[in-house]
Amino acid sequence: MDLLRIAQLVRQTRKQQGMTVEALADKSGFSKTYVSRLENFRITPSIKSLSKIADALGIQMSTFFETSSEPTQYMTGHLDEGEEIERNGGKYGMKYHALAFNKPERKLNPFVVEYHRSDEKRGFLAHDSEEFFVLLEGELEFLVYDDENCTLMSPSQTFYLSDGVPHRVQLAEGCDYAKALIVYSKEEAKVES
């Protein structure tokens, strides 16, 4: 089950129909929070849940699982063309842009993440996938395992993390904006860097 593709298909179909998150929640019988978490691939929906969402959207459930008959061998794009994914309601001053979101059967999930100053301090997170991180703009502090193991990053520096490594990222002192490219291996269902 490609959770990112399902999440984007739900959001895209809802928006094409001019439907709000609240309206989809009402039609499907789920809470607004559930629909929002589904659209932001924060949950793994059951088949029964997907069936209710499909019915509410007026689409066939098989749409969630369709793949093209001929796999796409390549595609082009631009860093500014990513589909914005709302994560944590902007709570940590971060914006996610999914790249290659329309590539079926992909093995990587690339994102551009923008960091803005925030009063909220994010805790350490560990993913179920490997992560490659490259800083494009600004300065960040990349903390691994604890607050003592901190690397000050400047543009073009990279990090490669194995799955399960606790880490967090924050703007460096005196920096109000940074931008990074993050690539997760396919197993990643939740984006939390």
State the CATH number of the domain containing residue 108.
2.60.120.10
On the question of pLDDT at 23 being above 80, the answer is yes
Range of the domain at 120: 79-185
Residues 143, 173 within the same domain:
yes
Residues 53, 98 within the same domain:
no
Is residue 73 one of the residues assigned to a domain? Answer: no
Residues 27, 121 within the same domain:
no
What's the total number of domains in the chain?
Answer: 2
On the question of pLDDT at 51 being above 80, the answer is yes
Average pLDDT over residues 88-115: 76
Residues 48, 105 within the same domain:
no
pLDDT of residue 156: 94
Higher pLDDT among residues 143 and 16, named by residue:
143
Residues 57, 86 within the same domain:
no
Other Cβ atoms within 10 Å of 20 Cβ, number: 12
Is residue 156 one of the residues assigned to a domain? Answer: yes
Residues 53, 92 within the same domain:
no
- The model carries a pTM of 0.61
- The residue among 175, 181, 187, 192 whose CA lies nearest residue 124 is 192
On the question of pLDDT at 188 being above 60, the answer is no
pLDDT of residue 72: 61
Tell me, what DSSP letter sits at residue 122?
Answer: P
User: Which residues contact residue 171 at a Cβ distance below 8 angstroms, ignoring those fewer than 6 apart?
Assistant: 93, 115, 116, 117, 138, 139, 140, 141, 177, 178
The CATH number assigned to the domain holding 15 equals 1.10.260.40
On the question of pLDDT at 13 being above 70, the answer is yes
Residues 30, 122 within the same domain:
no
pLDDT of residue 5: 79
- The residue among 92, 148, 162 whose CA lies nearest residue 123 is 92
Residues 87, 166 within the same domain:
yes
Tell me, what DSSP letter sits at residue 48?
Answer: H
pLDDT of residue 42: 78
Is residue 191 one of the residues assigned to a domain? Answer: no
C-alpha to C-alpha distance for 3 and 44, rounded to whole angstroms = 7
pLDDT of residue 191: 39
